[in-house]
Structure 1
């Protein structure tokens, strides 16, 4: 990391900072970076008998352009000789197979020799050793050491770095001035919005985490972005806006356009998923043959895009793709290059929290700890559990092992042994459990840690060997060409993907068993993450300040614990709806039983309540149920005279339903859907699209072996297993479903909570505070509905 202080006349940097082109992206940058360190360790292990000094850290100080410059370097090996030291520098072959012994790599050796000489050593020559990812030496090149030549090259390199750092200093000053001048982009804050603005500003400046429950209409996106962006500009930090929904990314970009106009000193960029932004039908980088990646850094610089696009202020993913393809550059790599200097980065949760996809270069060693906004934060714990729940398909691993046996090469033999060992172990364990357990699969049983502890280095070694094998292959064997897996649109090398899954499974199975449960079936195994908080906690701790916001962060203690942010540096904010109370009616109808045991018996009663409620005011209505089966039971008791009924089918998109709602002008239309589905989150129904919502039951997740393991985990640790596994997630769905109809200041709608559990303290006390203040119990909702609809037009908020 470069340290530059113009006022003190000081510059400190590393040898790698002088040679940025050596970081050229290739087949799969994340894979290459993760395996490079292993390759060096393997090479050194093979050279253990060599008396060379390894990883020699040196430093040299010189004067340049009025600055004291400290250059630090780690020399891979220094071999003593009669004519002086010989410096050996390693260069790991890119996975694309491009030649590593290029001019920049040679220059790195020469500069390393120069720095060693300036530290007082006599230097004879340098050697550049190209190594494969398994540590095998692929080639060596002697580098003649000419001090005067490399001194000139060092000065040229330093001139460029100093110019860049001074330009960066100018940007920092200009961004600080923009922070002072930045104005709230609307005439005045809304009700509740001012409180959110002040609390976010306090969290940003004091390095806190703010957990904010903000109902629809608060304007939480701008209320979080405005103060966080000001702090990012003022303090020279980067701001990450992470959300699980593309629609929320679009809203963040729209808001940032109001704050960062073209030609601002700060800019924002969107990171779009690689499989969405890539122009190829399959990701050619997965097979190391993408022309858009060849010479990327040099070509990107020559196009001027890294200077031109930031001047636009906000660079959306579509804009990155358009300009990158016109210049024949990789759009994904261009977005990453733009993110390096961006003030704000808008992206999916994956690029902040997924251990296999997060932006390592920006987040692992930032210049200054960045800021973070997590939107729709209620969805992050479940997403994070998926990140840490690897699954192994024994049939797939068997097929790949067979393909490896049929393919010549030591790397394939090594991979075959790992895959075969995993399948044999997993199937033997599943067979034993099938004989012992008087229950159907899956069977929960702790993993045999000693087996997986031995397997992890074997899987890592097989990964490295296979990556090295790919370097020398002109054409990939057909069995291992990139392809998409079911449910995953990203084409992947199937063997590389399988080895990564095995390695991840082994790593988690060999570690702390507490957050996991291992589930075994005859044909597969899954390591189920029961609690993602231990993994989310360090991710949040890497940020200077964070804001987690959603309409559904109640109860706050549940989300603090699930997100891993509980502690003295976390503050809570629970905001009420900004819309007037007379514009909505919250009714609890406790006279029906929606529990699993009684729901079929009471299904006709639920249908009658829905039908009678719609007769009070015909129009479009939404009804949300805990399952498709229960939905169908109730719908069967609704007659055509009550309403026209539309049933949400599994996997159905929202657009056909929305078109039907828009066309309805006569009578009642009832959309029957499920909690947690596409129609209950992320879709708005303003105006006449929905004039009322029925929430049938508290939306508890279905009982399953996996869910019961989650319950047992939280019961063991917190004494609240049922609440954490069922009640809190269910009520989160309820709040999301209920909030669909009132989305604007002029919307008016009743929300009916059907079921006796909504009257029980276990459930009611976990609802948002402003809900509890307004909720009315009514076994017969019709009188309250008649009174509500008899009022005049809705109030607009002040």
Structure 2
């Protein structure tokens, strides 16, 4: 008999969830507020009463044994009849709660009542729901008396309703574990270095450790990390795999890898979470039940949709989820989140794990302890996490809010005015220049907290102001980040004309990353460009005992010809660098026709060289990247790089952009890469603050803020060229700094035999 472990809450929420998605305004008390409200009720219990009572029961049905567990808030023993007390805190208007407002709450309490009645052999037991306002402490109670016989029937109906889903999941787990045990490495042979990487990943997971792996482009990092994780899952070491990516193109590579293993016999439920705006089926992304039919009644239909898709599909990509979303009329984004909680593997952006504002909060620490994070292109996580842990607000939003509510809510008007006045004071403090403060702006944050409290009340009363909602969430995010503020943060204030921007800037995300990662069994960081490794280990919250591995390129060094053109591409020299670059291109393409990509440190520089080049070379086909390209435009750009083309093509692109990472132009689709400059970020206010911060902590501040992030872009751009054993090509590095010892030390070994162009 197969055993199903399930919590009372999960069981009743599955069976009883109903209603619509409506994101106009939904508030939830902070966990601490909810806990305090519960404790306030429990303190009123008498001496004989009990609180936080662990309960469990076993119910057998259809060859399944359901082990149902939970913790009831209170057991009232001091009255004539024993009562189960289920406490619920709310930030809403408590007077709107009626006896039958929340059937799921009654269901949860009745489950506890059944278990206590069975344990104590009671014929009858009382059930009490206690609602408490987190703002006022006001309470509302409802009571029922239930017979043991009725409770037994109720539990039977619950289990019966859950059984079809449980049977599908049980069948899947049996097939999954069998397929994992039988799965062999899905290629005929390992590439050089691939077995070593896969073995190290497996050892890392087995020993509950973390790994930093630098593995050259083309080695097959995706299969070398997912395959050992799957084998570890098959042995019971893992329950879930998170494959984290920074870009759509690497997400696609992960999907293709899981699909390939599925064709080799793997049975695995894999779900891809795609951004809401990209998968929304409506013209506007408005999750309102009176606008969107996919939001209206979502919870009435979601169980059927989940059961259908997991019964018939295993690789749940955006297109598969869309198909079933239309069939069952459910929101594809929320559908993907619901599927994530039952999936064996989740492919998603970094932010679903690391961003405190949007992370998958329904996963608990005990689940994460049985999960592995596979962080693809981990070098990207440095700047991405710095952004996730920062927050900003602008003056104009609150000025507009003040004007909007001048004739409306007095409280909102007054709060908006006070916040706007604070921005004016910040602007005077700046005197037309950016300002850095070491401390968190405590008084400003206090103003925001008062604004949030009253904005919440206004929104609860049905305000339709989109601006108020936006300001509410922005202020909430700002206050939330202020709770993380420590010596790794600074506050910056910048002005432009009448606009003022205040930012809580996270300079060093390593501590916060470490806090998130420690709840997982293992974390595997991998990239072709985790160089220099000490920098990335430091910035990504690595520990001294973490595993480290460097896998050199498996491809023959002779496949690559490297040239350095030693001219200055520094900002003040760019005008006179244009003609030497154009001349180099002319010579290169005369001697070696084919498909080329040339990368620049900025759009402006790229456009200037592009215009100079096409004036002299109208016969050469050119492409140029522009900002905000759609996915269709990106695909069209890459599609122009055809194999065995008789004509020369040169694509102009930006370092660190969409074409410098993750793209895979194998064979003759790409014959050469030219990298202009050493990729340093533009000298600026925030970067200089980072430089000073790291200098004070004993690091080389300029390297940490500028050199290492810049050279990573160079290595990523150059890595587009050699993707397989048969690929050959040419790399030209355009900058005299590439001949200095510092930059030479950061170049890959495969690039060390270079020729200097004169």
> Is TM more than 0.5 here?
yes
Q: Which residue of 2 aligns with 1:56?
A: 51
What is the Cα deviation at residue 145 of structure 1? 3.9
1:373-772 matches, cutoff 5 A: 373-407=374-408, 415-434=412-431, 440-452=432-444, 454-455=446-447, 457-458=449-450, 461-462=453-454, 464-466=456-458, 468-469=460-461, 473=462, 477=464, 479-480=465-466, 494-509=467-482, 511-520=484-493, 521=495, 522-568=499-545, 570-590=546-566, 592-631=567-606, 634=609, 638=613, 640=616, 644=620, 647-651=624-628, 653-654=633-634, 657-658=637-638, 662=642, 669-771=649-751
Q: Which residue of 2 aligns with 1:150?
A: 151
What is the Cα deviation at residue 717 of structure 1? 1.7
- In 2, Cα distance between equivalents of 1:141 and 1:209: 50
**Residue 540 of structure 1 contacts residue 565 of structure 1 at CA under 8 Å; is this kept in 2?**
no
- In 1, Cα distance between equivalents of 2:139 and 2:34: 13
What is the Cα deviation at residue 698 of structure 1? 0.6
User: What value does the CA root-mean-square deviation take over the aligned residues?
Assistant: 4.1
Q: Deviations over 1:450-487 (max 9, x none)?
A: 32563465355346435533xxx4xx53x33xxxxxxx
**Residue 40 of structure 1 contacts residue 135 of structure 1 at CA under 8 Å; is this kept in 2?**
no
- In 2, Cα distance between equivalents of 1:348 and 1:151: 44
**Residue 620 of structure 1 contacts residue 664 of structure 1 at CA under 8 Å; is this kept in 2?**
no
Q: Which residue of 1 aligns with 2:281?
A: 279
Q: Which residue of 1 aligns with 2:255?
A: 253
**TM-score (ref. length: structure 2):** 0.85
Pick closer, same or farther for the CA change 1:430–1:623 going to 2, 3 Å.
Answer: same
Provide structure 2 residue ranges, at least 5 long, that are not aligned to the other structure: none
- In 2, Cα distance between equivalents of 1:312 and 1:83: 50
Q: Which moved more, 1:236-245 or 1:638-647?
A: 638-647
- In 1, Cα distance between equivalents of 2:288 and 2:97: 15
Pick closer, same or farther for the CA change 1:340–1:537 going to 2, 3 Å.
Answer: same
Q: Deviations over 1:469-512 (max 9, x none)?
A: 3xxx4xx53x33xxxxxxxxxxxxx4233222212222333543
Q: Deviations over 1:670-725 (max 9, x none)?
A: 43333223332344444444422222221111101011111112212242111111
**Residue 15 of structure 2 contacts residue 162 of structure 2 at CA under 8 Å; is this kept in 1?**
no
Find the residue that maps to 2:180 and give its secondary structure. Answer: helix
2:29 to 32, 35, 40: 35
- In 2, Cα distance between equivalents of 1:165 and 1:684: 41
Q: Does 1:213 align with 2:214?
A: yes
Tell me the matched-pair count: 740
1:128-277 matches, cutoff 5 A: 128-129=129-130, 141-154=142-155, 156-157=157-158, 172-235=173-236, 236-261=238-263, 265-277=267-279
Q: Which residue of 1 aligns with 2:85?
A: 87
Find the residue that maps to 1:753 and give its secondary structure. Answer: strand
**Residue 284 of structure 1 contacts residue 290 of structure 1 at CA under 8 Å; is this kept in 2?**
yes
- In 1, Cα distance between equivalents of 2:270 and 2:43: 52
**TM-score (ref. length: structure 1):** 0.81
Find the residue that maps to 1:624 and give its secondary structure. Answer: strand
Provide structure 1 residue ranges, at least 5 long, that are not aligned to the other structure: 435-439, 481-493, 781-798
What is the Cα deviation at residue 154 of structure 1? 3.7
Pick closer, same or farther for the CA change 1:418–1:538 going to 2, 3 Å.
Answer: farther
Pick closer, same or farther for the CA change 1:646–1:129 going to 2, 3 Å.
Answer: same
Pick closer, same or farther for the CA change 1:28–1:245 going to 2, 3 Å.
Answer: farther
